[in-house]
Amino acid sequence: MAMSSKNGKLFTEINITPLTDIFLVLLIIMMVIAPTFQSMDNSISIPEINSGIAIEQKNATISITKSGLMYVNGKEINPDTLVDELLVLKPTLEKPEVVVKADESVKSSEILRVMDAAQDAEFKKLIVAGEPLSKKEQKNLQNNSEKSKKGA
Tens digits of residue pLDDT in 36-49: 766 444 433 445 44
In a domain, 103, yes or no: yes
In a domain, 144, yes or no: yes
How many structural domains compose the chain?
Answer: 1
| Residue 69 CB neighbour total at 10 angstroms | 15
38-84 per-position pLDDT tens digit: 644 443 344 544 445 555 566 788 888 877 788 888 888 888 888 88
Residue 127: domain span: 60-151
134's CB contacts (< 8 A; 6+ apart) are: 41, 44
What distance in Å separates the CA atoms of residue 102 and residue 56, rounded to the nearest whole number?
16
pLDDT grade for 23, boundaries at 50, 70 and 90? very high
Q: Is the pTM of this model over 0.85?
A: no
In a domain, 53, yes or no: no
What distance in Å separates the CA atoms of residue 49 and residue 39, rounded to the nearest whole number?
15
